Structure 1
Amino acid sequence: MLLGRLWVGSGSSTGMIAAFALWSASFGAAQTSAPGAAQPASPAATQQPMTKQQAKELFRSVDEILSFVSSDTKLPIEHTVKRKLISRDQVNHYLKDKFDEDEGAKRMERSEVVLKKFGLLDRDFHLRTFLLSLLTEQVAGFYDNKTKTVNLLDWIEPDEQKPVLAHELTHALQDQNIDLTKWSDVSLSSTSHSVQEDNHHLQMDEADTARTAVAEGQAMAVFIDYTLRSTGRTIADAPDLANKLKDQATDAGGSPVMARAPLLLQESLLFPYGEGLGFEQAILVKAGKEAAFHGVLANPPSSSFEIMNPEAYMAHAPVPLVRLPDIHPLLDAEYTPYDVGVMGELDVRILAELFGGREQAAALAPEWNGGVYYAAQRKSAVTEAEKESTASIALLYYSRWKNADSARSFLRIYAAQIPRKYSNIVERKSDETDEEELVYSTNEGDVVISRAGDSVFIGEGFNLALARKLRDMIGSIQPEGRMQQAVVPVIVPVNEPALSMSRVLASFGAVNESALQRYTSRGAK
């Protein structure tokens, strides 16, 4: 998946991290400034460390809340959960170490150039610097599934931390029942060098993103149930609550850091929590707790399409999947394979919103019917500076749509952004074969965008003749109907550079739950 692979699962903690900034900002709870600016002290930061008596109360509440979580999810308690009280400095140190050491962060840094090639990040944006500022901005507790420990914060009042415990102890019970480390990271992680490896990647590409959305959606559902427990209501009997949460969370105006974040970051950070909650709520309402928790963990969805369309998951509907032909003989003399993946419904929604606005994104995303991207790096790029430049990357993107009108709309939206991405642009009308093809010269090579029926091909950086060969090869092997995505087994992954924006952040597990609690109470009224 283009945007989902910044969630890092294997050997790391699971929980909310930077998404707290968006959620808290949506109802005015954030007290932060942009990176580099003098930051005012938040109420939490000015508090004294809790007393021994408060710490004892908080530690005792872990077992009480774990019992609530087990009752709410029907997931059994296999053993008690270890607990640890840590300081703000320890949290910041932990987050920075995780960012530096985690393989997902390394994949993210390598993938940054492809995100920029797509136009999802500005060419001068520094992703690592921004994410480090985001990760250390606010924290309210996290569960580390590597050490099997829930980490509690010594500067926040116990009552304010109890809702975060409901969320994080959901992860603890998930971990006890299915081993989150192995369960949550199943995508292949080696760079593919053959057509067989390419298509194996495509079959499994969105599995991690879907599983992260399940884990976080379940934890969000329990968090809300815990928050609403005094009212007698639950997320299952508040059908409009998940949508209200998602709608409110899109306003990041209360947090300058998140307000200046690229749409890519804002949307991908929210996806597991907002869409995951919506998915979980739909299963709860239709099939009950057993299906929504144990059932989904045992048979998880494999794509963002299923998360965004839970009725398709429940109906076992086929997942749209585009396959690649053997393009390596055309490319491998001049290019080195760099990345390959699915362009899922979430990716399309973000691209369409960034390039065409929210209204067009809302209309186009449901019309998506499969997509794939392939990035290759020129072998002539030798120095680190050359390799970090988008000019070193050639990119193809092939998408299918439910009808020709939707394909045509997407082509127009994407083509309108070419002047924003490149300079020295000249449209070569004499080279265009018909009105369904656009050909440009740019400072980074040829760009060709074309439509054939319900499909759109985009080639950026390949010369025109090569781009057309790639287009014709890909189009010729696609089936007329949808192709069922393969069932994803639980495997121990290897390592691969990948491109999505969601996974790095799930490793660190932090959230401003007190803000979430205030919003949930308000949204439930």
Structure 2
Amino acid sequence: MLQGVLCGASRSSIRLVAGVALLSASFIAYGAQTATPSAPQNNAPAANQQPMTKQQAKELFRSVDEILGFVSSDTKLPIEHAVKRKLISRDQVNRYLKEKFDEDEGAKRMERSEIVLKKFGMLDRDFHLRTFLLSLLTEQIAGFYDNKTKTVNLLDWIEPDEQKPVLAHELTHALQDQKVDLTKWSDVSLPSTSHNVQEDNHHLQVDEADTARTAVAEGQAMAVFVDYTLRSSGKTIADAPDLADKLKEQVTDTGGSPVMARAPLLLQESLLFPYGDGLSFEQAILLKAGKEAAFGGVLANPPSSSFEIMHPDAYMAHAPVPVIRLPDIHPLLDPEYTPYDIGVMGELDVRILAELFGGREIATALAPEWNGGVYYAAQRKSAVTQAEKESTASIGLLYYSRWKNTDSARSFLRVYAAQIPRKYSNVVERKKDETDDTELVYSTNEGDVLISRVGDGVFIGEGFNLTLARKLRDTIVSVQPEGPMQQAAMPMLEPAFSMSHILASFGAVSESSLQRYTSRGAK
């Protein structure tokens, strides 16, 4: 979810690459000799930087075919046809980005879903997501491939030699596009809110698919980026098992990006995930199964969840992905609420949430104990004005998670409960309303909050009155199986949804160079 919410129903056609890619290139060249990361640099161009000369532009255009040949050889993806290329100015890029944010359906969904992230406490109430993303992208962009126009866009203010590693990344997307049609392959998110139990569970089955596919696309492009940068040494990412981890460490240092350094943890993690974790996933497939499996094979049979990206061995072993079933809760909500949002809370989401609420050490311990999670948001029908609809007070939120053992469930409950006073005002614990030590009940300025552990599961209801929250909890818990979780089913090219998603829907977010700037990688 937390990624999916950011992904949107209509994925943007562009795949952006940020200045982190250039940083990565310098790290690889430097680290290949010293194994010590170089300091991050801000790659935003100086205000007085001059556009490249005609001769430089000619050289850059000529290099496209040469680099495309390298990419094809490195990935075993065939070149079906030449790739169009275009030189554009910084003003043109900024104008294009703003138009995409204004027109793209993903942007509209992002604005709608922002309220859910705020209700969770993942974003501050006064945070403006669109404004932030525009600032970040215009600061960091270093090139992009547009899979709708089939064009690689070259930037006229960056030196050709600095753009060539980025081109290797972007031209990987071009060959992916020729192989599977990235527009259809990447966008598997369901376009609308579900209104019945069948639609609810369809959403949950495919919810994290966009997140996983973005990580595949970026992980492959990052692997080629690394190989191109190392080409003079004769080595590749497959020859350096520890290089991916070192690059991830470099990418998560946001010192080179003033905008990213100010970003909420959710955005830093979600934006960089496809690059860092995607690269680690790709490297694992390369080492165990070879290039054909790591590139064409994964494109043909992509993972369906952040769990598989974070655990490539589970993907290769076809291990079941935990997916929680949601019963029909619409009759319980219908008198007062209308459906607003639904999604999976995957392992990545839990890692982000646990780190934000409890710190990195707790997140590192808790995330691997995740065993499935789902959230559902409904909006009060009494919210009629725009201001009322944009307020988190209009949202009722439930979140049900499963854990591999009872101790982990207890730990997560304590971590989450400790944040209630941070999220709301006028918080009062109502001990007299708590049935036993497995329940916590609060009054807040936005309504009741129920946090309840049932075995290895934790139910959280925020904004629903206590009676309704308990009915929702009991209904959800009653349909959960006692045995192993089911496998997420992801039919090829069928719609899907997930939170790395709103961010990923902008290609921008989804493709920002060896960063986890769209989560941890670079283009």
Q: How does 1:97-112 map to 2 (within 5 A)?
A: 97-112=99-114
1:120 maps to 2:117: no
Do the aligned residues in 1 keep the contact of 2:428 with 2:443 (CA within 8 Å)?
yes
Corresponding position of 2:3:
3
5+ residue gaps, structure 1: 33-41, 521-525
1:503 maps to 2:501: no
Kindly tell me: are residues 66 and 492 of structure 1, through their superposed partners in 2, closer, same or farther at Cα, counting changes over 3 Å?
same
Structure 1 position 129, deviation (Å):
1.4
Q: Which moved more, 1:253-262 or 1:471-480?
A: 253-262
Q: d(CA) in 2 for partners of 1:474 and 1:22?
A: 47
Corresponding position of 1:488:
491
Kindly tell me: are residues 411 and 509 of structure 1, through their superposed partners in 2, closer, same or farther at Cα, counting changes over 3 Å?
closer
Q: Which moved more, 1:481-490 or 1:63-72?
A: 481-490
Q: d(CA) in 2 for partners of 1:437 and 1:316?
A: 37
AA at the equivalent of 1:13: I
Corresponding position of 2:17:
16
Corresponding position of 1:353:
355
Aligned mate of 1:431, from 411, 433, 450? 433
Aligned mate of 1:304, from 289, 294, 306? 306
AA at the equivalent of 2:504: R
1:380 maps to 2:417: no
Do the aligned residues in 1 keep the contact of 2:188 with 2:209 (CA within 8 Å)?
yes
Corresponding position of 1:36:
none
Aligned mate of 2:328, from 312, 326, 329? 326
Structure 1 position 11, deviation (Å):
5.4
- 1:18-59 deviation line (CA, Å, top 9, x unaligned): 876997999544448xxxxxxxxx555533221211111111
Corresponding position of 1:87:
89
AA at the equivalent of 1:349: R
1:199 maps to 2:201: yes
State the SS of the aligned residue for 1:50: coil
Structure 1 position 289, deviation (Å):
0.3
State the SS of the aligned residue for 1:462: coil
1:251 maps to 2:253: yes
Question: Aligned pairs, how many?
Answer: 506
Q: d(CA) in 2 for partners of 1:53 and 1:345?
A: 49
Cα-Cα RMSD? 2.4
1:209 maps to 2:211: yes
Q: How does 1:97-496 map to 2 (within 5 A)?
A: 97-480=99-482, 481-491=484-494
TM-score (norm 1): 0.92
Structure 1 position 340, deviation (Å):
0.5
Do the aligned residues in 1 keep the contact of 2:184 with 2:493 (CA within 8 Å)?
yes
Q: d(CA) in 2 for partners of 1:6 and 1:426?
A: 32
AA at the equivalent of 1:395: L
Do the aligned residues in 1 keep the contact of 2:417 with 2:451 (CA within 8 Å)?
yes
Aligned mate of 2:73, from 71, 96, 106? 71
Structure 1 position 498, deviation (Å):
7.2
Kindly tell me: are residues 363 and 236 of structure 1, through their superposed partners in 2, closer, same or farther at Cα, counting changes over 3 Å?
same
State the SS of the aligned residue for 1:16: strand
Kindly tell me: are residues 45 and 238 of structure 1, through their superposed partners in 2, closer, same or farther at Cα, counting changes over 3 Å?
farther
Kindly tell me: are residues 123 and 177 of structure 1, through their superposed partners in 2, closer, same or farther at Cα, counting changes over 3 Å?
same
Q: d(CA) in 2 for partners of 1:238 and 1:76?
A: 25
Q: d(CA) in 1 for partners of 2:174 and 2:165?
A: 14
Kindly tell me: are residues 56 and 44 of structure 1, through their superposed partners in 2, closer, same or farther at Cα, counting changes over 3 Å?
farther
Kindly tell me: are residues 159 and 123 of structure 1, through their superposed partners in 2, closer, same or farther at Cα, counting changes over 3 Å?
same
Q: d(CA) in 2 for partners of 1:19 and 1:332?
A: 47
Q: d(CA) in 1 for partners of 2:208 and 2:133?
A: 22
Kindly tell me: are residues 228 and 59 of structure 1, through their superposed partners in 2, closer, same or farther at Cα, counting changes over 3 Å?
same
Q: d(CA) in 2 for partners of 1:435 and 1:207?
A: 37
- 1:372-404 deviation line (CA, Å, top 9, x unaligned): 000000000000000000000000000000001
Do the aligned residues in 1 keep the contact of 2:220 with 2:278 (CA within 8 Å)?
yes
AA at the equivalent of 1:14: R
Q: d(CA) in 2 for partners of 1:469 and 1:19?
A: 48
Corresponding position of 2:31:
none
Structure 1 position 168, deviation (Å):
0.1
Do the aligned residues in 2 keep the contact of 1:186 with 1:492 (CA within 8 Å)?
yes
TM-score (norm 2): 0.92
Q: d(CA) in 1 for partners of 2:495 and 2:328?
A: 27
Q: Which moved more, 1:252-261 or 1:413-422?
A: 252-261
The sequence identity of aligned pairs, in percent, is: 79
Q: d(CA) in 2 for partners of 1:466 and 1:18?
A: 49
Corresponding position of 2:34:
none
State the SS of the aligned residue for 1:317: coil
Q: d(CA) in 2 for partners of 1:509 and 1:329?
A: 37
Q: d(CA) in 2 for partners of 1:510 and 1:406?
A: 34
Q: d(CA) in 2 for partners of 1:234 and 1:435?
A: 55
5+ residue gaps, structure 2: 28-36
State the SS of the aligned residue for 2:396: strand
Q: d(CA) in 2 for partners of 1:368 and 1:346?
A: 10
Q: d(CA) in 1 for partners of 2:22 and 2:433?
A: 48
Do the aligned residues in 1 keep the contact of 2:440 with 2:451 (CA within 8 Å)?
yes
Structure 1 position 505, deviation (Å):
3.6
- 1:55-76 deviation line (CA, Å, top 9, x unaligned): 1111110000000000000000
Kindly tell me: are residues 508 and 148 of structure 1, through their superposed partners in 2, closer, same or farther at Cα, counting changes over 3 Å?
farther
Q: d(CA) in 1 for partners of 2:267 and 2:96?
A: 22
Do the aligned residues in 2 keep the contact of 1:21 with 1:255 (CA within 8 Å)?
no
Q: d(CA) in 2 for partners of 1:427 and 1:474?
A: 24
Q: d(CA) in 1 for partners of 2:223 and 2:471?
A: 48
Q: Which moved more, 1:323-332 or 1:503-512?
A: 503-512
Corresponding position of 2:30:
none
- 1:267-311 deviation line (CA, Å, top 9, x unaligned): 000000001001000000000000000000000000000000000
Do the aligned residues in 2 keep the contact of 1:339 with 1:498 (CA within 8 Å)?
no
Structure 1 position 98, deviation (Å):
1.1
Do the aligned residues in 2 keep the contact of 1:209 with 1:502 (CA within 8 Å)?
no
Do the aligned residues in 1 keep the contact of 2:17 with 2:141 (CA within 8 Å)?
no
- 1:140-193 deviation line (CA, Å, top 9, x unaligned): 111000100000111111111100000000000000010000000012121101
Structure 1 position 260, deviation (Å):
1.0
State the SS of the aligned residue for 1:400: strand
AA at the equivalent of 2:17: M
AA at the equivalent of 1:142: F
Q: d(CA) in 2 for partners of 1:13 and 1:320?
A: 32
Do the aligned residues in 2 keep the contact of 1:217 with 1:276 (CA within 8 Å)?
yes
Q: Which moved more, 1:44-53 or 1:400-409?
A: 44-53
State the SS of the aligned residue for 1:137: helix
AA at the equivalent of 2:56: Q
AA at the equivalent of 1:485: A
Structure 1 position 482, deviation (Å):
1.2
